Amino acid sequence: MTGPLRHALAQPPSAEGPAPLLDYLLAHSALSVEGTPGDWQGHVLDLDFHGAGGQTLHLRGWVQPSTQGWLLHLLDIGDLLLERQQAQQRQQAQQFAAQISEQLRLCSLFRLPEVLHEQLHALAQHWHIPCLALALLDDQEQGWHIHGVYQAPDAPQLWHKDQVLGTGLDSLNGNAPQALTFTQGLGDHPRLQRAFGNSEGFVVPFRDDHGVAAWLLCGFYPVRQLAPQLSERDWLQLSAALAGPLLGRLREQQHHHQLERLEALQGLLGTGWWELFPQGNEIQLAPQLALNLLLEPQTRRLSLQAWLALIHPADRQELSSRLQELRQGKPLLLCVRLQRADPQLPAIWYRLQGQALGIGQNQRFVGFMLDISDIKNQEQQAAAAHARLDNLIAHSPAVIYVQRYVEGALQPTFFSDSLQPLLGWSLNDCNDGALAERVHADDRDRYFERNRQLLREGAVRSRYRLLDSRGEYHWVLDEARLLRDDLGMPVEAVGLWLDVTDATLAAEQIRLSEERYRILVEDSPAMICRYLPDLTLTFGNRPLATYLECPPEQLAGANLGDWLSAEQHTAFVQRIRQLTPEFPVSTAEINLQLPGREHAWWVWSDRGVFDAQGRLREIQAVGRDNTEVRRSQLQLMQSAKMATLGEMATGLAHEINQPLNVMRMAIVNVLKRLNNGEVQLDYLQDKLKRIDAQVQRAGRVVDHMRVFGRSSEIEQQPFDPAQAVEGCLSLLADGMRGKGVELRIAPIDFKVQVRGHVDQLEQVLINLLVNARDALLGRREQNPDWRPWIAIRTEHDPQRVRLLVEDNAGGIDPRLLGRIFEPFFTTKPVGVGTGLGLSVSYGIVENMGGRLSVSNTDEGACFCIELPLVQSDQITR
């Protein structure tokens, strides 16, 4: 063996001296040297030898016969082989890259993630990469994240999809692939150490025109051992084949989405772009816009003329001229209406904006149209509402104002237009404290207090007088509120002045008139009060208090019923109950039991106060003391009664004389028999009985006269009027008959009740009978043969009873008929008639709620006493 290569050969272990050729060869090369060297002659032998360092030596040689045998020439072709292998690998890598890139470029966007995964898988398998990932920049290009990842089934998990890597990769050189080793301490890239599991890694950048756009990350990958053949360029190519098309597709996808979003947005907003082509005078519209403008969907381009025809004629000319200006470079901004087929429909408004792009030949005009109908219509509505409000405020008696807060003071900064008509001022008239000068001097304290309260409490309501430009004062009601900023500091006060001059003056007048009425009521001699339907007093004036002997302040709350007897109370309440909104007034004479006094009679007038539903809420009453009048009436009645008795005296003498005569006769007869000694017990008994009967008769007359002569009871009572007829007859009947007057008394076959005093009704009847008797006797004097009579009849219906007293004395002179009830009217001679009988009778019947009337019949006068009946339910009450 000669030559330098012999040192590179490994010595066969067994040989000390020369060894057979086969011992130097790797097993597979033994095949090339089968047979004898003569067989190999003329062949090129590629033989692999065991190298001295354990490596393989690739040698190429040929045999030549030599003098001693065969000479084998060998050359080292290791480099040659390596280069070839590398070229193959490169080609393979290139093919691989082309495949990857084609797959990624051609697949649908939908399958892109899947295809990426497949390609990562293939790459990893081919170059034995346990973990392979592609990192891309985040959306905001702030940091990196794992976009796709492949991991061999037996490899530990290093990354997952969408994992955030931060900015660690930025510290690497973006121009070349780099092997990362972290085994000795922290290494050069501490921020990446964890991301690569503290183990060996390999990273390959991908650059596009923006810089590094992607990294291919290989984890747990000692690249020099596992892919020694691949050069940096190969790796860069592979990463470019993967990342280049992927990024392109992703951008395409992003763009697509953006377009979609934009189109949706345009559709939603009713907006869209347009482009004007200067040469053809044509315009192109965004599809959505064309649709919104109600053009055919396929209409993308239309002539400028056709486009202008879509615009309302009112705006068309302006738009046309603005487009001309746009061609000269002036940006376009205009709001236009669309021409609508039905002019009744609400207007559709578009905002049109456009600008020129580029210059010269390349100039383009682009812009957008935006549907602003909503805003425009709202604007118009708001403007209308605003105008209405302005109008309202300007014509109302209210002024709206704003006062700015400046260092504790309030400066007017705004007044509504109504200020001028109301007070004749302008804003300037009220500046710098001038406002306070216009407040009435008497109200100024109140005005300053208003300011303080507004600042203190945030709201105020006050009333003061303001001087207008004509020198007159207005009462204003001022309501203000303080507005504060976020920090609670006062910013301004907003408020309202309401002119309440009329109302205030009216209120003042009401107050004055109320005062006058109050004095009137208090100082009135009449008793004035208000009370509730249960008779509880709510107010009573001084005279009432004086009469009731009660302090005025205790009147309210007292009950009127406390001064009424049970009878009066019932009658009073019943009378009040009959008040209605239609007939709210009732007057009556009431009788009260006043402390320490006899009965008092008041003429009492009530007026009901009703609510909206017609329910009685309260009663206002005015009363006048009638006791004196009542008393004189009673006295008058008594004297009238006494006069009647006087008049009856002759009749009564006869009345009593009659039984006395009968008794005397009886006694004379008895005495005669006694003297003759022929008195029998029967006879005596009979005579004594007769005498007793006559005594009783006389006694009855005297009794009745006593009763009749008494004053009447105070309270009215229910009684049967037949009683009065009976009583009157018991006094007069015999006397009448004695004078030859026939009494025609119709029997009373019914029972009724009237309210009053039985003796008074009896008196009325006596008056009528006595008057009739007098008239009859007067007439008989002229005609002794004539037969006088008096008739008493009674009739009744469900409400009333009538007692009729009729005579045949020829009646009353019709000219006097209207006057006979007047007091002191009489046709009788002086000293005979008093002229009181009928007038008193009239008063009595009226007091019983009835009526006394007179008429002439064919034969004489007919007096009628008509009285209301007490209904059975009222008797029990």
Among 775, 845, 867, 869, binds ligand ADP (CB under 6 A): 775
Nearer to ligand ADP, 738 or 835 (CB): 835
Among residues 207, 133, 147, 200, the alpha carbon closest in space to that of 174 is found at 207
In the complex, minimum distance from the CB of residue 866 to ligand ADP, in angstroms, rounded to a whole number? 17
Q: Segment 790-809, which members bind ligand ADP (CB under 6 A)?
A: 807, 809
Q: Please report whether residue 788 would count as binding ligand ADP according to CB under 6 A.
A: no
3 state DSSP class of 227? coil
Indicate the SS3 state at residue 862.
strand
| 861 interacts with ligand ADP by CB under 6 A | yes
Shortest Cβ distance from residue 735 to ligand ADP (Å)? 16
778 touches ligand ADP by CB under 6 A:
no
**Closer to ligand ADP at the Cβ: 151 or 767?**
767
Out of 454, 528, 812, 844, which residue is the one contacting ligand ADP (CB under 6 A)?
812
- Footprint (CB under 6 A) of ligand ADP, residues 197-226: none
Q: What is the DSSP letter of 347?
A: P
Count Cβ atoms below 10 Å from residue 322 Cβ, excluding itself. 18
Selected range binding ligand ADP among 262-270, 281-289, 369-377, 830-838, rule: CB under 6 A: 830-838
Q: Which is nearer to ligand ADP, 418 or 834 (CB)?
A: 834
Q: 762 with 726: CB under 8 angstroms?
A: no
- Shortest approach of ligand ADP to residue 721 CB, angstroms? 20
Does 70 sit near ligand ADP (CB under 6 A)? no
| Smaller CB separation from ligand ADP, 292 or 767 | 767
- H/E element, 144: strand 144-151
Q: Are 456 and 449 in contact (CB under 8 A)?
A: no
Site size toward ligand ADP (CB under 6 A) is 18
590 versus 812: smaller Cβ distance to ligand ADP:
812
Among all chains, which residue has been given the structure tokens 């004035």? 528
Q: Which residue in the shown chain puts its C-beta closest to ligand ADP?
A: 837
In this chain, which of 32, 339, 627, 826 binds ligand ADP, going by CB under 6 A?
A: 826
| Binding of ligand ADP by 396 (CB under 6 A) | no
What are 57's strand-pairing partners?
A: 49
Count other C-beta atoms under 10 Å from residue 210's C-beta. Answer: 9
Residue 698, both tokens:
């006389």
Q: Per CB under 6 A, does 772 bind ligand ADP?
A: yes
Q: Is 273 in the site for ligand ADP (CB under 6 A)?
A: no
What is the nearest approach in angstroms of ligand ADP to the Cβ of residue 778?
9
Q: Where are the beta strands (DSSP E) in 245-348?
A: 271-277, 282-285, 301-303, 332-337
**Interatomic CA distance for residues 843 and 851, integer angstroms:** 9
Q: How far is the CB of 819 from ligand ADP (least distance, A)?
A: 9
Closest CA to 571 of 713, 842, 720, 755: 755
Residue 582, amino acid:
E
493 φ, ψ (degrees, to nearest 5): -115, 135
Q: Does 648 sit near ligand ADP (CB under 6 A)?
A: no
Residue 239 engages ligand ADP in binding (rule: CB under 6 A): no
Among 51, 174, 490, 833, binds ligand ADP (CB under 6 A): 833
Query: Which pair of tokens denotes residue 864?
Result: 């009628």
Instruction: Indicate the DSSP class of residue 51.
Output: B
SS3 state at 22: helix
Amino acid identity for residue 439 in this structure: V
For residues 393 and 645, which CB has a smaller minimum distance to ligand ADP in the complex? Answer: 645
Q: Does 763 bind ligand ADP (CB under 6 A)?
A: no
User: Which two three-digit tokens encode residue 310?
Assistant: 């879509």
Does position 820 bind ligand ADP by CB under 6 A? Answer: yes
Strands (DSSP E) contained in 3-143 are 45-50, 56-65, 70-76, 131-137
Question: E-assigned strands of 446-584?
Answer: 459-467, 473-484, 490-499, 527-531, 537-540
User: Using CB under 6 A, which of the segments 414-422, 610-618, 746-754, 770-778 binds ligand ADP?
Assistant: 770-778
> Between residues 495 and 788, which has the closer beta carbon with respect to ligand ADP?
788
Contact 148, 160 (CB under 8 A): no
Name the residue type at position 805. V
Indicate the SS3 state at residue 306. helix
Q: Of these, 825, 849, 859, 874, which contacts ligand ADP (CB under 6 A)?
A: 825
Distance CA 622, CA 593 (A): 18
The residues in 440-479 that bind ligand ADP, with binding defined as CB under 6 A, are none
Interface segment toward ligand ADP; rule CB under 6 A; list 20-28, 240-248, 252-260, 819-827: 819-827
Q: Write out the H or E segment, with its range, that includes residue 800.
A: strand 800-807
Q: Is 118 or 859 the residue whose CB approaches ligand ADP more closely?
A: 859
750/786 with CB nearer ligand ADP:
786
**At its nearest, how many Å lie between ligand ADP and the CB of residue 592?**
32
Rule CB under 6 A: say whether 827 interacts with ligand ADP: yes
Within 13 A of 130's CA, how many CA atoms are on the CB side? 17
Report if residue 838 touches ligand ADP, rule: CB under 6 A: yes
Per CB under 6 A, does 744 bind ligand ADP?
A: no
Q: Which is nearer to ligand ADP, 536 or 827 (CB)?
A: 827
Q: Considering the rule CB under 6 A, would residue 828 count as an interface residue with ligand ADP?
A: yes
Q: According to the binding rule CB under 6 A, does residue 837 interact with ligand ADP?
A: yes
Q: Among 312, 310, 313, 350, which Cα is nearest to 334's?
A: 350
Instruction: Name the site residues for ligand ADP (rule: CB under 6 A).
Output: 767, 771-772, 775, 807, 809, 812, 820, 825-828, 833-835, 837-838, 861
